[in-house]
Amino acid sequence: MKKIERFQPEFRETIPDRLQGGVLYVSIAYATAVHLCACGCALEVVTPLSPRDWKLVFDGETVSLLPSIGNWGIPCQSHYWIKNNRVQWARKWSFPEVQAARARNARLRSNARHDGTPPRA
């Protein structure tokens, strides 16, 4: 499978068992977006939608996922954004950078209030 440069959003209640490349499946009911990795490795990437995880922006035509998608847990370790349906590639992070980001995210999660509101600085 070749690199994916664009994603077409597909809003569904549940995510299908078999994913197609270039489709960003979005389940509002389960607050989740799922796609096959943009690098072409065909591995599934799950992005939970919440104030502490990813934010989905739909402008009526295109979707964006924020922050970036860093696939540190799969062999390709690709890193990209999905902005207005397009893939924008990011540089590869070093292992210390990945560890620092994971630690920062863990701190944010542990400090978050139970209602899902992120902590204030």
pLDDT tens, position by position, 76-105: 989 999 999 999 998 887 878 878 877 877
- pLDDT at 117 (0 to 100): 46
Q: Is the pLDDT of residue 116 over 60?
A: no
Residue 113 in this model has a pLDDT that exceeds 80 = no
The ranges assigned to domains in the chain are 8-92
Q: Which residues 6+ apart lie within 8 Å of 19 measured at CB?
A: 25, 34, 35, 36, 44
- Give me the residue label for tokens 């893939």: 87
- Which residues are bridge partners to 89 per DSSP? 80
pLDDT above 50: residue 32: yes
User: pLDDT by residue (tens digit) across 11-31?
Assistant: 999 999 999 999 999 999 999
Please give the pLDDT value at position 74: 87
